[in-house]
Amino acid sequence: MAAPTAFPCALYVRPTLNVPFPTPAHADTALRALRVDEELSALVKRTLAVSSADARVLDVHYAATTNRMLRVAVNGFFDSLGVVLGVMEELDEDTVMREGKESVEGAQGLMPVKGSVG
């Protein structure tokens, strides 16, 4: 029998969040901006890294002692990610307006991008 882990709760379907960016430079900038803030709770562990498979993707892994702590931490991460993306949009117009591989068309909670058609 395996020894119990100190952080048994993790994201269920896919344990790593993969956040795509238009360029490797954008992924690296997001990594450096998000890495500054450590988790507020010792009950949560987070790792951030640019994907070794695709330098345009930021890999984020969370583990926590309880599902509630995991939910709160991941929600906080998405708030911070939203701020980083907002700053990128304001300071580098190519960040949001550039064509990407994936589409988030119709995703819940997303507002139309300035200058978009539709």
| Domains detected in the chain | 9-97 (3.30.310.50)
pLDDT value at position 16?
83
**Residue 107 burial (CB < 10 Å; 0-12/13-18/19+)?**
exposed
Closest C-alpha to 102, from 20, 3, 46, 30: 20
pLDDT (tens digit per residue) in 47-77? 999 999 999 999 999 888 888 888 899 999 9
Residue 75 near residue 24, CB atoms below 8 Å: no
| Residue 113: pLDDT over 70 | no
Distance CA 108, CA 47 (A): 26
Average pLDDT over residues 42-46: 90
pTM of the full structure? 0.68
| pLDDT tens-digit map of 1-28 | 444 567 666 665 567 889 999 899 999 9
What mean pLDDT do residues 22-39 have? Answer: 92
Q: Is the pLDDT score of 118 beyond 70?
A: no
